[in-house]
Amino acid sequence: MTAIRHLPEAPTGRRPLAPGAGIDAHRHDTHQIVYACRGVLSVTTGAGTWVAPANRAIWIPAGTVHEHRAHGDTDLCLVGLADNPLGLGHPTVLGVGPLLRELIITYTADDPPPPDGGERERLWAVLVDQLKRAPEQRLHLPTARDPRLAAVCAILHRDPADSRTLAQLAVQAGTSDRTLARLCRRELGMSFPQWRTQLRLHHALLLLADGVAVTTVAHRCGWASASAFIDVFGRAFGYTPGRAFTL
């Protein structure tokens, strides 16, 4: 087993990542905001995966073992925090508006404002204020622990377009749809249709990051039409798939 790296402090700075590249499992003693100002970033822990495009950031609390993965050419911005101004004890996706985006980019630049003169301190104070205002987004794809539910989740991970009902999938998993529905609520914190929609949106983001056409993404992820996909995507992320990487 690969040793999990331990970093005393979460780093602050900018890091480019090629498609498919990542940062292996590690943890740090301070908190961190990770933000992809270009591309799509996924963060995975033992509890599941969080995926964030360019209008989302991911909060990672101190001590959380996690790994990063880039999808598409990605510019990764990292902001370390000694304190927890958000009061969050678990990874969370946060909405990033235009002002917060520019604050993160400026604060993590290769030539940030000098520490003297107070400019960097003022920049930091506004950044923290904006983080406190950032809305939490339900973009977590939790991991199932029960082997029956995990088997069904694995089927859909391999083919998000699989349109079989929960009852049909339960037969393959050797259980009942009522059991799976109960496990979904208990282990995933959502209904099976909600989890499947989350899964499809996550896969859609990754395909879009790879330059796959919107119509093809809709088909591969199980939507009946491109218009249906665009509608669901827009309600989840606040913009259309065609604008996903022009922000």
- Give pLDDT, residue 2: 58
Average pLDDT, the chain: 90
Residue 110 in this model has a pLDDT that exceeds 90: no
Angstrom distance (rounded) from CA 203 to CA 192: 16
Digit-coded pLDDT (tens) for 158-185: 999 999 999 999 999 999 999 999 999 9
Q: What are phi and psi for residue 83, nearest 5 degrees?
A: -100, 175
CA distances from 175 to 49, 110, 146, 191, 193 (A): 26, 54, 12, 17, 18
Range with the lowest mean pLDDT among 1-15, 34-48, 80-94, 165-179? 1-15
| CATH class of the domain defined by 144-243 | mainly alpha
Angstrom distance (rounded) from CA 173 to CA 169: 6
Q: Report how far Cα 206 is from the mean position of its chain's Cα atoms.
A: 11
Residue 234 in this model has a pLDDT that exceeds 80: yes
Digit-coded pLDDT (tens) for 143-164: 999 999 999 999 999 999 999 9
Residue range 71-93: mean pLDDT, rounded: 92
- Give pLDDT, residue 1: 40
Residue range 71-97: mean pLDDT, rounded: 92
- Give pLDDT, residue 54: 82
Give the bridge partners for 68, in sequence order.
23, 43
Under the banding of pLDDT at 50, 70 and 90, the label for residue 236 is: confident
Residue range 53-60: mean pLDDT, rounded: 90
Three-state DSSP class for 47? Answer: coil
CB atoms within 10 A of CB 21: 15
- Give pLDDT, residue 119: 85
Structure tokens at 147: 């082997």
Q: Is the dihedral of CA 165, 186, 238, 160 positive or negative?
A: negative
Above pLDDT 70, what percent of the chain? 95
Give the bridge partners for 80, in sequence order.
32
Residue range 53-65: mean pLDDT, rounded: 92
Residue 117 in this model has a pLDDT that exceeds 70: no
Digit-coded pLDDT (tens) for 122-149: 999 999 999 999 998 877 899 999 999 9
Digit-coded pLDDT (tens) for 3-17: 789 888 889 999 999
Residues of the chain within CATH 1.10.10.60 domain(s) are 144-243
Residues of the chain within CATH 2.60.120.10 domain(s) are 5-140
Q: Can you give the pTM of this predicted structure?
A: 0.84
Angstrom distance (rounded) from CA 148 to CA 145: 9
- Give pLDDT, residue 52: 86
Structure tokens at 66: 């996690």
Long-range contacts (CB closer than 8 Å, 24 or more residues apart) made by 63-66: 63/27, 63/28, 63/29, 64/27, 64/90, 64/91, 65/4, 65/25, 65/26, 65/27, 66/25, 66/26, 66/27, 66/91
Q: Tell the CATH superfamily of the 5-140 domain.
A: Jelly Rolls (2.60.120.10)
